[in-house]
Homo-oligomer: A and B are copies of this chain.
Amino acid sequence: MILAGELPPGTQLSEEALALRCEVSRTPVRDALRRLESDLLIRRSESQRSFVADWSDDDIEDAFELRAMLEAQAARRAATRIAPAQVEALRHHNRLIGAAIAGERPDIPAFLDNNRAFHEIILTAAGSSRLASLLTRLIEQPVVWRTAQNYDRENLQRSHHEHEELIAAFARGDAAWAASIMTGHIRRAFHAYLDAYTAQRTAAE
């Protein structure tokens, strides 16, 4: 609901209200709130009340910067550990991405799905549960989720192409190459987001 924008930043989230809304008791709601808090989607006041977190421009830049660092590290590790079958799986998902963006109107949900699967394979191949745990926390954030919504055709195709390059780096086992492509991949996503976001905000004024 937060990601979908149903709950604007600053909204107070009372356990009881959410429990009613979701038709469960407070106990599982509590668990979920704690998790969302550790994902920084929720901020808690000093008196432990929960509110939907708001994101400043700095927060957004920060999230992308960290994600770029960690995804690059994942790519670096994956390059020397990835199995041939996994490389094949990457090719498969990137073919589906290619198909999703080929038509007149790109199929954004399909793009998102395969993009997520693509990055997940790399994270798995990196073989670091710690890294996976840290990254999972970053990619489930509103900024990242909304990015692709704003991608234009050119950005979608560049993304697809960068994936191809990543596959090539993995096929050669070149860790430095993979890491640098990944850094650029995420940073470009950041700027695409910024462009779309500031354009949107300027239009609103």
Which interface residue of A27, A38, A130, A133 has the most chain B CB atoms within 10 A? A130
Q: Cβ of A59 < 8 Å from any Cβ of B?
A: yes
* A129 sits at the interface (CB 8 A): yes
Stretch from A62-70, A114-122, A146-154, A156-164 forming part of the interface with B: A62-70
Bound state CA distance, A138 and B35, in angstroms?
A: 17
**CB closest residue in chain B, given A62:** B128
Residue of B nearest to A37 (CB): B133
**Complex partner residue of A66 from B31, B40, B130, CB under 8 angstroms:** B130
Determine how close the nearest CB of chain B comes to the CB of A193; give it in whole angstroms: 16
Tell whether, in the assembled complex, residue B73 and residue A66 are in contact, meaning their CB atoms are under 8 Å apart: yes
Q: Among A27, A34, A66, find the residue whose CB has the most chain B CB atoms closer than 10 A.
A: A66
A-side residues, CB < 8 A to B, are: 27, 30-31, 34-35, 38, 40, 59, 62-63, 65-66, 69-70, 73, 128-131, 133-134, 137-138
